[in-house]
Chain A
Amino acid sequence: MSDISYNTNIHEGEAGFGDYFALLKPRVMSLVVFTAFVGLMAAPVGVHPLVGFASILFIAVGGGASGALNMWWDADIDAVMRRTRNRPIPSGKIEAGEALALGLALAAISVVMLGLASNVYAGAFLAFTIFFYVVVYSMWLKRSTPHNIVIGGAAGAFPPAIGWVAATGSLTVEPLLMFALIFIWTPPHFWALALFMRSDYDDAGVPMLTVTHGRRATRVHILAYTALLAVLSLGAAFSGLGGPVYLAVAVVMNLLFLRGAVKIWRRDEVASEADDFAVERKFFKLSLLYLFAHFSAIMVEALLQPYGLGGWG
């Protein structure tokens, strides 16, 4: 027998730990962690720090499982779009079957563990969220209707409500308002992305609004949803979530966001292409800051409560 042996188990595409982590969509997961944390903190119930930590962790794992299952299902689309072609499956680092197995395993672990760590309602809510994102959004809506982002956005809007339910075991108007904030915020956020990613969704055959109704209609829709979001955001200032800090943040952020939406609405394609969609790109970045600022303000109001400063007294 020769000293030189050939290990047939090694193949070029063998993935490292980071590739599997990338399968969980860490950037989306960071939004899930942040909003679920705010939901948990805003709840009017004390939670043991370790139970709170475990709850947020398993909500994040559930979000990661959704990401892996989405990448398994959408591998064909991801391979076509510039933005997603370097993801682990289209780049050949991880096989689709592995992503499916990892997604299903993490989904089961996260649901059971959240149920055990907090309460059964939170576990069931997380299971429904994963089902909604994978089956309702990825498998059904994404390829069949231009409203994919509108309805599918609900999946990304559930985490703060799950955080609230993990703390309280019940659903009230406050978590529904946090849900509504993300739900109405999602369409203008993604439509701005669709405007400056131009041919990506065309090439992949995904019926985004830009493809089915045209870019002019998308600009109008962005303005309409932004106006609706402003009403909701300012209205929430006078609910149990709000207070002076939240109101100040909401006024500033909605003025900026509305100004951006009006700019997008007034532009045509010639002007946009002349500056490589600078306004649309700026609006997309602002949308991230918009959501972060709102949920930070909700958390500040909750943190001030014990000192008699949060809310409207």
Chain B
Amino acid sequence: MSIKTTHDLHRRRFTRNVGVGLLLAAFIVLIFGLTVVKVTSTGFMMPSSVASE
């Protein structure tokens, strides 16, 4: 049987974990969005090594 009481320390640790998790998720979404914008922009050019394949 585990102890159910939640200490303030647990709450602080939880907010920290949730915060880091949300930040990482937002970072992934941002990188994906930036990639789409860069690849679909008119000035985008494939690297020469890829383009010649």
Interface residues of A (CB under 8 A from B): 3-4, 10, 12, 14-18, 20-21, 48, 50-51, 54, 57, 116-117
Contact = CB atoms under 8 A, between A and B. Distances in A.
Contacts of A116: 34
B39 interface: no
Nearest to A51: B37
A58 B34 CA distance: 13
Interface string B1-44: 11100010111110110111000000000100110010001000
Given A4-B3, A54-B30, A15 B12 contact: yes
A17 B18 CA distance: 8
Nearest to B10: A10
Given A3-B1, A4-B3, A48-B41, A16 B34 contact: no
B30 A14 contact: no
Contact of B16 (A10, A16, A57, A117): A16
A116 B3 CA distance: 48
B15 A14 contact: no
A309 B33 CA distance: 34
A10 B9 contact: yes
Contact of A16 (B12, B30, B33): B12
Given A10-B7, A16-B16, A51-B34, 12 more contacts: A3-B1, A3-B2, A3-B3, A16-B12, A17-B18, A17-B20, A18-B15, A20-B16, A48-B37, A54-B34, A116-B34, A117-B34
Nearest to B30: A54
A12 to B, nearest CB: 8
A50 B33 CA distance: 7
B34 to A, nearest CB: 6
Contacts of A54: 30, 34
Given A4-B3, A50-B34, A17 B19 contact: yes
Contacts of B18: 17
A177 B50 CA distance: 44
Residue of B2, B9, B10 contacting most chain A CB atoms (<10 Å): B9
Contacts of B3: 3-4
Contacts of B10: 10
Contacts of A18: 15
A3 B9 CA distance: 20
Contacts of A21: 19
Contacts of A20: 16, 19
Nearest to B33: A50
A3 B19 CA distance: 31
14 contacts: A3-B1, A3-B2, A4-B3, A10-B7, A10-B9, A10-B10, A16-B12, A16-B15, A17-B16, A17-B19, A20-B16, A20-B19, A48-B37, A50-B33
Nearest to B11: A16
B15 A17 contact: yes
Contacts of B13: 10, 14, 16
Nearest to A116: B34
A15 B1 CA distance: 28
A16 B10 CA distance: 9
A117 B27 CA distance: 13
A116 B12 CA distance: 34
A21 B34 CA distance: 25
